[in-house]
Structure 1
């Protein structure tokens, strides 16, 4: 029996993966912000006779304090994690600053993933073939705004998400660079456009566009098939990147080691200055 921790596990790809692994007899912890959806997940587990193997943690991952509370719960529940699957994402049309002083998309989409990856590394390393699957859209053309990473001067929801994808690319590079002997395989994955809930705060015009995207997007069950294969047999390389099943060079443009190290040091400074840092 393996242990899976899935953020964004009450919706879309995360939920489908969580239910699949539960049905296969594994232990699964999902993390989400909705207590109602969490209870629905636990009810589904009871329906499958798997209540003892199903766990839900309610958390707002835009807050470092709540992300670290999740880590505490994981450490209490498990001595090892076979796979950490990062799916949580939330779009915001308008800029929001969290109670800890971070721009919401930056905190939720990137900072929480940094904290989870680095602070759970030892629990992952206790497993035989551990893997981190970061569903973040590798290889995108977003720009990293080094002088204004939290977009105080020119916030745009799409720009924030696109930058977040690039930051997660560098997170993967930085993770493998900082732990050269780790057995953890790090996989950056872009599943393409999938018909999920598209969690977010949208203007009416953007909501109409999102609905049109959802109608033409691939179904969740179709999208998770290649993801299940990757998690069943992680690549041998320490770092891999994939776009809809096709390999992407994780050493090419957008994956510069010097940028990854720069971002890692910047992030460590932010966390050290955070009230929960």
Structure 2
């Protein structure tokens, strides 16, 4: 029986993966911020006969301190992990500053993924099979998104939700490159996966008329969650042999593209380490 941690595990693809693996006899730890959605997932697990194998951890991963704490708690409770799915994301139509002084999209979409991957790496390395980290919604080679190296949290530039989101997606690609470079001798595989347009609950955070337009487009063009889950599960069940790989809607993406530049990956890692000590402390220095 494998143990799989899924951030964003109560919505969309994360929830679909959680239910798939619970039904298949695996142990699932779903991390999410909404206790109501967490409760519904646990009740569904009971209905599937998997109540004892389902765990919900309520956490707002937009807090760096909470992300660190969740990683430490899970590493303590689960000294052996088989897979970590990084799927937590929230579309913020306006700028939100966290209590730690971080821009929320950056904190949730970028920083928490780094903290969880680093904090749980030890548990993953102890897996009997091939451990894997799968990061959902990285750009995966799409030529979109710009890294604003002099203003990563868009403190000086006007806030544009789409631009901030796409920079986060680009940063997620670089997080994968950085992880693979810094832990080259490890067993954990890192997979970047962009599922394309999927019918999820993201539209609830949009303002009108964009919410209605997006819903209409989703009804016409988006793939249902159940269909999107299959290719993701295939990569978790049989991880690639390479330390780092990238996929766009199930198709491999070459890693020699400029979007995966190791120098930029190292630059991002250095930028994360330069954040104030109370906002960022993960034990990876040196």
TM-score, normalised to structure 2's length?
A: 0.93
Q: Distance in 2 between matches of 1:61 and 1:257?
A: 26
For 2:96, what is the secondary structure of its paired residue?
coil
Alignment counterpart, residue 261 of structure 1, candidates 261, 266, 269: 266
More moved, 204-213 vs 120-129 = 204-213
Q: Distance in 1 between matches of 2:276 and 2:256?
A: 27
Q: Is 2:158 the partner of 1:154? A: yes
- Spell out the pairing of 1:162-201 with structure 2 (5 A cutoff): 162-198=166-202, 201=205
**Structure 2 unaligned blocks of 5 or more:** none
Q: Distance in 2 between matches of 1:274 and 1:6?
A: 23
- Spell out the pairing of 1:73-84 with structure 2 (5 A cutoff): 73-84=73-84
Given that 2:203 and 2:215 are in contact with CA atoms closer than 8 Å, whether structure 1 keeps it comes out as no
Given that 2:67 and 2:112 are in contact with CA atoms closer than 8 Å, whether structure 1 keeps it comes out as yes
Number of residue pairs matched by the alignment: 277
Q: Distance in 1 between matches of 2:85 and 2:78?
A: 16
Aligned to 2:113: 113
More moved, 147-156 vs 68-77 = 68-77
Kindly provide the CA deviation profile for residues 165-222 of structure 1, in whole angstroms up to 9, marking residues without a partner as x: 1000100000011111011110000001001111663221221222123212001111
Aligned to 1:94: 94
Note the C-alpha offset of 1:275.
7.2
Given that 1:91 and 1:200 are in contact with CA atoms closer than 8 Å, whether structure 2 keeps it comes out as no
Let me know the Cα RMSD of the aligned residues.
Answer: 1.4
Given that 2:65 and 2:279 are in contact with CA atoms closer than 8 Å, whether structure 1 keeps it comes out as no
Q: Distance in 2 between matches of 1:250 and 1:209?
A: 34
Given that 2:22 and 2:50 are in contact with CA atoms closer than 8 Å, whether structure 1 keeps it comes out as yes
- CA pair 142-240 structure 1, distance change in 2 beyond 3 A: same
4+ aligned runs moved over 4 Å, structure 1: none
Aligned to 1:32: 32
Note the C-alpha offset of 1:101.
0.5
Kindly provide the CA deviation profile for residues 81-104 of structure 1, in whole angstroms up to 9, marking residues without a partner as x: 100001111101111110011001
Aligned to 2:133: 132
For 1:215, what is the secondary structure of its paired residue?
helix
Given that 1:90 and 1:200 are in contact with CA atoms closer than 8 Å, whether structure 2 keeps it comes out as no
